[in-house]
Amino acid sequence: MKILAVLAIILLTAIMTRSLFLSFRAQSPADYADTSPQFILNKHLAGRILSEGLIYGPNGKMTNSFVAEMVGKWDADTGTLIENFTYSNGKTQKRKWYLKIGQGNTFTATADDIVGTGHGIVSGSTVMLRYKIVLPEDAGGHVLTVTDWMYLTENGAIINKSEMRKFGFKVAELIATMRPYPASQQ
């Protein structure tokens, strides 16, 4: 029985080590400090933005897809980002982020379905934001811890990857693109 307990502890330690040092969670803003192009919040999250993405459940299978129209507006270092989602299951969702650029490439973010304040940092061509989100009641109403990374590409598109966790376990993942609406659709 003691051997099984020791093996279980070793396995759990190996899983936690992999999760912390060899995965999405292992990256830090410092890893991207010298990358370009430079992500500028009040430039790249401004205007009309088209987003398309996929949501994966805890088993790694896609559970939903979405298209979102976003509109970013800024007054110096204070901005809003309005998101209007349409999901493949027919549901819609609206969120309005309130963003505030701070010192040293940091920023804060709040929204109605966010618990407290999200804290982010801009580093090189990336943005990392951590926050807690409350899911809608029809999705269980759970509070999830989110790590959200955005990567600016050379052509101005943003690739967004998010992990959502509950009690430290990954329960969902999101991958999306964000890009300015084409001029013909403005």
- Where are the domains positioned within the chain? 28-185
Query: What's the pLDDT at 141?
Result: 87
Note the pLDDT of residue 21: 53
Instruction: Report pLDDT for 11.
Output: 63
Instruction: Write down how long the chain is.
Output: 186
How many CB atoms neighbour CB 85 within 10 A? 17
CATH number at 28-185: 2.40.128.20
User: Which residues are registered as beta bridge partners of 161?
Assistant: 149, 175
Q: Residues near 52 by Cβ (< 8 Å), separated by ≥ 6?
A: 65, 66, 67, 68, 176, 177
For residues 41 and 126, give the distance between their C-alpha atoms in angstroms, rounded to a whole number. Answer: 10
Given this model, what pLDDT does residue 2 score?
A: 75
CA angle 5, 11, 14 (to 5 degrees): 140
What would the mean pLDDT of 29-58 be, rounded to a whole number?
95
Distance CA 91, CA 57 (A): 17
Q: Which residue has the tokens 């009040």?
A: 42
- Give the pLDDT mean for 103-109: 96
- Of the pLDDT bands very low, low, confident and very high (cuts 50, 70, 90), residue 185 is low
Percent of the chain with pLDDT over 90: 76
